[in-house]
Structure 1
C-alpha cells in the first residue's frame, strides 16, 4: 500500500474522523446499527424462532422486483465507488490500494484460495451456532420463480464484495492508519465493524465475519492487493445465495 505521507495536523485528523463517521453512517455503520437492533429483538423473542431470508422477493410484480434488486446492486456499487473516490481525491489512487490491473494468478487464484480458506470454517461456525441455539435460521432464496433470479443474485454477491472490501478494508483501514493507529488496532477495528453488520444473521455469522475480516485485512496489509478479497467475498456470497438454495432442499442436515 502506497500513498501520501500520513503526517497530519490536528484539524486534518479531525476531518478524517468526520469523513470516517459520515461514510460509515451512510453505508455499513447504519447496517451495523440495524443488525444490533434485529439481534436484540431475536434474543428477546427467542433466537430459535427467527428466520432470515436471503434476498427475498421485494415485490409481487416481477419487473418491479427485478428493478428493486438491481437498485441494491447499484447502491452497493455506489458505496464502493464513493470510498474509492474519497481515497483517490486524497492521493490514494486505485493501484495504491490494490485495485490496479487485474492479474490472473494473484487476484483470481488468490481470491478462490481465500474463499476456500474462509468458506468452510464459516459454514462450521454457522452450523455450531445453530446446534447450540445461538444462531438464526436462514431461509434460502427462491431460484426458480423467475428467469433473472440467479444472474441478479450473482450480481448482488459480487457487488457486496466490491462495496464491503473497499469501504471496510481499503477505505477504513487506510484512514485509521492515517490517524496513527497501530496495524493491529486497525485490523481489529475493521474486523469488528464487519462482524457487527452481519449480526442480523446471528452470533455465529457475526463471529465468522470477524474472523473473515481478520484474515482479509491481514492479507491486504501484507500484499496490498484488494482484488483477491473482492473475488473471494463474491464467491462466498454466491455460494450462500445460489449454492445454498440449490442444496438446502437436497441435504436434510442443512438448517
Structure 2
C-alpha cells in the first residue's frame, strides 16, 4: 500500500472516530447496560429527541440548536479534507453528488426509496419489539413549544446529512481513492451504521445494517448521495412527527 493510501485510511479512521464511530462505541455500551437490567429489552423505552430544560423553553431551544449544529462539524471537516487533501477532480460536492444539480432526479429517487423502506422499516420495528430483541423507541420527547415541530424536522434533516454524507459520500469517495474493493466498504459502512443504532436494540442494529447495504448498493449505481439524504430525512421526519399516530396504527391491526 502506498504511503498516500495509508494516510487516507488513517484520515478515514480519525473522521469516523470523531463522529459516527464514536456513536457506535457509545451505542455498544448502551446495549450492554440495557441487557444487564432485570427488565426485558422489549419492556424498556429508549427516548430520543428529549428536552434539556423543559421548564425554560428559551434555554431548551438554545440547547436544541447547539445539538443541531455541532454534530455537523465532522461533515464540514470531511468536506474540507476532500477539498484540500487529494482533492477529487470534480471537487468534494460534485464527486459524491451532494449538490442541487439534479433536483428532480434526487427527489424522485428519495421519495421512491422512502416509500419502500418506510413501510418495511415500520413492520420490522414492530416485529423486533414483539420478538423481544428491541426496545420501544420514543422518538419525540421535546416539551411543547412553538419551535418543537421545526426542531424535529431540522433534527431529521441533520441526521440525513450527517449519516449519508459521512457514511456514504465521504467514506466511499476516500475508499475509492485508496483503490480498495468497493464491496468491502459497503459492508463496513453498513455494519458501522447498524452499530451506532444498537442503543435501540438488536432490531435497530439489523434494520440499519440492511438499510446500509441497500444505500451502499444504490449509491454505487446512481453515484449521488443527495437522494439518500432525502430518503433518510423523510424517514426521520415520519418517525419523529408520526410517533403519536403509532398506537392508532397498531390498534387497527390488533
Does the alignment reach a TM-score above 0.5?
yes
- Residue in 2 that maps onto 1:228: 227
Distance 2:45 2:64 in 1: 20
- Secondary structure of the equivalent of 2:46? strand
- Secondary structure of the equivalent of 2:161? helix
| 1:23, distance to aligned residue in structure 2 (A) | 0.6
- Residue in 1 that maps onto 2:246: 248
Bigger shift: 171-180 or 50-59? 171-180
Distance 1:129 1:147 in 2: 34
- Secondary structure of the equivalent of 2:224? coil
TM, length-normalised to structure 1: 0.90
- Residue in 2 that maps onto 1:22: 14
Structure 1 residue runs of 4+, over 3 Å off?
248-254
The reply to whether residue 39 of structure 1 matches residue 31 of structure 2 is: yes
Distance 1:96 1:174 in 2: 7
Cα 1:250–1:121 shift into 2, 3 Å: closer
| 1:176, distance to aligned residue in structure 2 (A) | 2.3
CA-atom RMSD in angstroms: 1.8
Matches within 5 A, 1:88-167: 88-89=83-84, 90-92=86-88, 93=91, 94-142=93-141, 145-167=144-166
Distance 2:139 2:236 in 1: 12
2:74 pairs, out of 79, 88, 92, with 79
1:38-81 alpha-carbon deviations (Å, 9 max, x no partner) = 01111111313421112011113211111111112112332222
Matches within 5 A, 1:151-230: 151-230=150-229
1:179-210 alpha-carbon deviations (Å, 9 max, x no partner) = 33212111111111111001111111111111
| 1:144, distance to aligned residue in structure 2 (A) | 6.6
| 1:121, distance to aligned residue in structure 2 (A) | 1.4
The reply to whether residue 54 of structure 1 matches residue 48 of structure 2 is: yes
- Secondary structure of the equivalent of 1:101? coil
- Residue in 1 that maps onto 2:62: 67
TM, length-normalised to structure 2: 0.90
Is there any run of 5+ residues in structure 2 with no aligned partner, and where? none
